[in-house]
Structure 1
């Protein structure tokens, strides 16, 4: 493994440790200026929702200007998150995988997948909102009679699985 690969893996480890401490100031040390600002936009609200968040590195692979990290995340829902009021419940060991791109030894972008179905389940939340849309279904019965029926369909509140690109 090259020195560059080892350096990039250390940078991702520093990021994961900083998030677990709630230390967004470290972002200026591990991200390019533009990427740091964008990363704060999605990490800050998560830390406000889960102030005791803990992230652990399960596996990390580096290849050139890319590091892939498999992480496990735990935390207590103490703030508004994705439109859901705090539950006070805890999620444990939720899997996340992130691809980090590097430029000049700093993270220049990332893309990730999180197991939010597991996270939502452990928090007692649903992926569906209470918003419903009304659909009219029209058809013809087996006797040739026209029929119309209105049904209420729940609207998903969030995409699944969750991704957070910012490059």
Structure 2
């Protein structure tokens, strides 16, 4: 394994620890201040502030949120993770009052790293499935 790949995997592992601890502010350890999120959430601010804001809302809306990696592939520049995201809707989420319903959907994230920090992010989550399971689909 290359040093760069090892550093990226270590950063990805730290990202998982931060998410498991529900510590949105600590995400700045892994995401570069000027990270480019190619797939931001609605109304998400740019840079790491947007990442922190998104996860703060997620942890508030879904206090039991879990992001469980299913597979991970890494090279010298990028880490790709396929994961299952689940939680119970007990707080406001994107303008929707809590439903008390649980969701579980698949997602994927590709992160490009530079010196052990995420500088670009691409991702997709089954948002339609999430909305449907939460009873929010119109």
Q: TM-score scaled by structure 2?
A: 0.82
Correspondent of 2:101 among 70, 89, 96: 89
1:76-113 deviation line (CA, Å, top 9, x unaligned): 10111122210011112x10101111112211121110
**Structure 1 residue 3: Cα displacement:** 2.6
* Alignment partner of 1:119 is 2:107: no
1:111 and 1:87 map into 2 onto residues whose CA distance is 29
Query: Residue 33 in 1 paired to residue 33 in 2?
Result: yes
Q: Which stretches of structure 1, 4 residues or more, deviate above 3 A after TM superposition?
A: none
Q: What is the number of residues matched between the two proteins?
A: 126
Give the SS at the match of 1:40.
helix
Question: 1:18-167, aligned counterparts within 5 Å?
Answer: 18-35=18-35, 36-92=48-104, 94-126=105-137, 128=138
Gaps of 5+ in 2: 36-47
Quick check: which has more Rg, 1 or 2? Answer: 1
Unaligned runs of at least 5 residues, structure 1: 129-167
- Relative contact order, CA 8 A, sep 6+: which one is greater? 2
Higher helix share: 2
The structure with the greater share of residues assigned to strand is 1
TM-score (norm 1): 0.69
**Alpha-carbon separation, structure 1, partners of 2:60 and 2:32:** 23
